[in-house]
């Protein structure tokens, strides 16, 4: 990967609608849509297809300094497995030594928050968006994902004015649940946070998402927050006690649903399944039917199961084969390298076989992998190709030896004879991003 130099800290100076910049020769970055502490979001265009996308540029330095590496890894992993019409789609992740780029579906309609700010919605429109929200949240929970920061600012609208859940930066997965069966990290936006989070005794990720959905439904119908006060501690006290009133125009059925959503007792709070069966909610509701291929993170090709790698690995990549820091094996008899390639897996394995044969190295090919062995058995190289994006793959090279005395011969064969002939397989970005 090419390193980007002279990174600008000024969000407005990086790009503008009148001065587009090019990202890896693949995307033209246009207007700055917004920015926060760690990231800036741009409208962009795929150079080849013309497709509009949103690109979130995350500062690697700020992520490292803030200790949020695990959060970024988790966000990428979560978004990669989210395939639902009401969840923003992650197309791919690109990276340089200074930035991580999330290339995402572009929601032309902007934030739902902007629409609510103009005034409350009708009950029918509130129901429509709440149905789409619950469909997405229910899907997340079925995948073991808890959003933990649901609010109108994180709900986007596409060109058809359909809702799209975004920003999984604070999300949690079931692996984070402690032995007591609960999550314990304090997070969320004050006005939307569930009372059990304030108690600091642990909470169920699904139940706090339902509470946030209740606050959102209240806002859609009322045009203002159920719990709001300039004094944060006063607001928290009202949340903890569940002190709110529905506006007079709220229908009885909607009022009953909101009361169940904003139940301060998580044990009796309504569940997603119960919401779907609620009379107010179910009016005109059509459940989203997902295709089987959307339900997991694997491509099935005959008897192969090709895993899509976590693209966060790209953060550490540099040009060529010297990709230090990606392997941490305690076994000193194993050494590894990785590189990114734009060639097809089949072509890569074919090329590796051609090179190995010219050096009198035995080759065993299998699917998207190959094993290279020295004629006298003094070294072995195992190569596997993993799909990273639709156009890029990661080639993983593992070198091992049977005895310490084998290291010299094995390293010499790989480094001096085989590797130099494969350099043209390495992906080289067409151009770095200017001005960063």
Instruction: Tell me the backbone φ, ψ of residue 105, rounded to 5 degrees.
Output: -60, 135
Instruction: Tell me the backbone φ, ψ of residue 279, rounded to 5 degrees.
Output: -60, -40
Structure tokens at 378: 């003094």
Which of 383, 381, 403, 405 lies closest to 394 in space, CA to CA? 383
Which of 436, 428, 435 lies closest to 26 in space, CA to CA? 428
145 with 97: CB under 8 angstroms? Answer: no
Which of 145, 137, 189 lies closest to 164 in space, CA to CA? 137
List, by residue number, the catalytic residues. Answer: 149
SS3 readout for 269-321: CCCHHHHHCCHHHHCCCCCCCCCHHHCCCEEEECCEEEECCCHHHHHHCCCCC
**What does the alpha-carbon distance between residue 1 and residue 55 come to, in Å, rounded to a whole number?**
18
Four-point Cα dihedral 274, 275, 277, 281, nearest 10: 170
CA distances from 263 to 33, 210, 244, 366 (A): 36, 10, 11, 56
């Amino acid at each position: 990967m090419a390193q980007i130099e002279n990174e600008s800290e000024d969000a407005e100076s990086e790009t503008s609608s009148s001065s587009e910049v090019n990202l890896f020769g693949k995307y033209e970055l246009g207007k700055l849509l917004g920015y926060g502490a760690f990231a800036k979001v741009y409208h962009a265009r795929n150079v080849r297809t013309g497709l509009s996308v949103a690109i979130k540029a995350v500062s690697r330095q700020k992520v490292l300094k803030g200790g949020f590496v695990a959060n970024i890894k988790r966000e990428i992993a979560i978004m990669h497995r989210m395939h639902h019409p009401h969840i923003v789609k992650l197309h791919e992740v690109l990276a340089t030594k200074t930035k991580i780029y999330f290339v995402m579906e572009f929601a032309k309609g902007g934030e739902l928050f902007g629409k609510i700010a103009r005034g409350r919605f009708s009950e029918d429109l509130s129901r429509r968006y709440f149905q789409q929200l619950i469909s997405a949240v229910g899907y997340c929970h079925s995948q073991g994902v808890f959003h933990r920061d649901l609010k109108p600012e994180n709900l986007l609208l596409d060109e058809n004015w359909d809702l799209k859940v975004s920003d999984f930066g604070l999300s949690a997965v079931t692996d984070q649940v402690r032995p007591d069966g609960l999550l314990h990290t304090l997070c969320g936006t004050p006005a939307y946070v569930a009372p059990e989070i304030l108690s600091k005794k642990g909470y169920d990720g699904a139940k706090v998402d339902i509470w946030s959905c209740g606050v959102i439904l209240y806002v859609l119908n009322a045009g203002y927050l159920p719990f709001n006060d300039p004094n944060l501690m006063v607001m928290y006290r009202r949340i903890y006690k569940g002190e709110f009133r529905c506006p007079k125009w709220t229908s009885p059925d909607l009022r009953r649903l909101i009361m169940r959503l904003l139940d301060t007792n998580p044990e009796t709070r309504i569940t997603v399944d119960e919401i779907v069966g609620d009379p107010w909610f179910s009016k005109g509701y059509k459940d989203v039917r997902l295709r089987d291929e959307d339900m997991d993170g694997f491509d099935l090709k005959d008897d192969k199961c090709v895993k899509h790698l976590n693209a966060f690995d790209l953060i550490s990549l540099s040009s060529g084969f010297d990709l230090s820091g990606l392997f941490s094996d305690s076994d000193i008899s194993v050494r590894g390298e990785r590189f990114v390639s734009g060639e097809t897996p089949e072509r890569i394995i074919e090329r590796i076989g051609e090179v190995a044969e010219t050096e009198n190295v035995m080759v065993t090919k299998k699917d998207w992998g190959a094993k290279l062995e020295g004629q006298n058995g003094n070294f072995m190289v195992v190569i596997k190709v993993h799909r990273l994006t639709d156009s890029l793959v990661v080639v993983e090279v593992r070198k091992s030896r049977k005895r310490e005395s084998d290291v010299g011969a094995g390293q010499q064969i790989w480094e001096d004879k085989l590797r130099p002939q494969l350099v043209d397989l390495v992906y080289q970005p067409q151009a770095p991003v200017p001005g960063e």
